[in-house]
Amino acid sequence: MTGAGTNKTQLGIAGGPAIILVRPQLAVNIGMCARAMANFGLDDLRLVSPREGWPRTDARRKGAYAAAAGAVHLLERARVFDSVEEAIADLNFVWATTARERGQGKRVEPPAIGMAQSAVAIKAGEKHGIIFGPERTGLANDDIALADAIITFPVNPAYASLNLAQAVLLTGYEYFRASQGETLPFATPDHSPPADRKMLVSFFDFLETALEERGFFRPLGKKPLMQINLRNMFHRMQLTQQDVRTLWGVVVRLVEGPRTKVQTRKRLGPKQTPKGTGKKAEE
């Protein structure tokens, strides 16, 4: 199962710090962590003594693969270790994640700072990793003692506990920002250029004439101020040419009323078809 944002035609991003899940309790959480990793181009998943074992071959496996939502390649390549020491043996630098102060005198950073440092070091050839503790208890002090520094999250102090996959997601996001930049996958579409002053003034003249004919500017002494307010309202919208054409058409219909069949035929011609109807214009 894949998500709406999955596009296999795009070149995938890989690398980044190793994600080390220490004694994870639920297979479905492992799958969710794999999905979070895939979102941000992380591809090194390491498991330390999963409570339910790994790889699974029963219903728990199906749950993990479903939660991975297309990132099953990370589950299939995941490496399993008996201890944290074995899981981090090849790494040059290790971050430990925790929501509680442990009194170990280690440097503490938020994920944005920590992952920015790792991005620079990894680009230079170092191997970094991040260890995450079991869902219920978090990392043990002995696990944290093996790390170089600590990452903790700026969260509500009254509710600082994060879901395992959420913690992986946050750190992965910050690593991606630091290593790949913040270019968005798509931008606001620009279907029509901005309206110029001449077009806007013509629209204002037309609109204000129609409003004047229908008694909008009353009392007359307030007409200049009402015109200014009306024009400023449209200026704040930063209208495009298409916006002005659409608004102009709206006012025309409000002033003239519903379009008649004869008007429709004159506009389209005798053999043209109204767009989107699939039928000839009515006589």
β-strand pairing of 18-22 with 128-132: parallel
The answer to pTM > 0.85 is: no
What would the two tokens of residue 33 be? Answer: 């962590």
Domains and CATH numbers, the chain: 18-180 (3.40.1280.10), 197-268 (no CATH)
Residue-wise pLDDT for 64-117, tens only, equals 888 888 788 899 899 999 999 999 999 999 999 998 877 888 999 999 999 999
Beta bridge partners of 205: none
Residue-wise pLDDT for 52-77, tens only, equals 777 666 666 777 888 888 788 899 89
pLDDT of residue 66: 84
Burial class (CB in 10 A: 0-12, 13-18, 19+), 109: middle
Residue-wise pLDDT for 144-159, tens only, equals 999 999 999 988 888 8
**What is d(CA 211, CA 225) in angstroms, rounded to the nearest whole number?**
14
Most confident residue range from 48-57, 168-177, 186-195: 168-177
